[in-house]
Homo-oligomer: A and B are copies of this chain.
């Protein structure tokens, strides 16, 4: 009797996806990874997440193939950083769709607070999660900027 259901073998692809990313922390970690977070501390600080939760989440996402561990040199030591895999980066449409839905249906208390999905090449705000509604180009992680009214724009990083 597991704590949580296992949908990894479900016939519905939505259920199989949710088995991996049907958890707020998983998607928030991926959101940060798309915005350039790589190191444990990057994630911890930007997400205010408890350490045990973060290390478990990272391990799960690595095991699921959405992130990959890469060693890097920190002075005399070898540490690990977490980079998006292609599978991880291709969750961008899911995150964009959530962002666009949230902007529309869960507005912030302060009406000046917004985040737009911008197609970097043409500079237009797009309402489509995977394709620019202005110029029609397909949107991969490297082509998108999240424009935030409360902070600098963030150009997303691909694999």
Contacts and interface: CB of A to CB of B under 8 A. Distances in A.
Given A23-B22, A94-B94, A97-B94, A17 B102 contact: yes
Given A22-B24, A22-B27, A109 B9 contact: yes
How many copies are assembled? 2
A4 B17 CA distance: 22
Contact of A13 (B11, B16, B90, B102): B102
Contact size range, A: 35 or more
A19 B17 CA distance: 18
B11 A106 contact: no
A122 interface: no
A108 B115 CA distance: 35
A72 interface: no
Closest 10 CB pairs of A and B: A13-B102, A22-B24, A17-B102, A16-B106, A17-B98, A93-B97, A18-B24, A94-B97, A87-B105, A16-B102
Interface of A: 4-5, 7-9, 11-24, 27-28, 31, 48, 65, 87, 90-91, 93-95, 97-106, 108-109, 113-115, 128-131, 148, 150
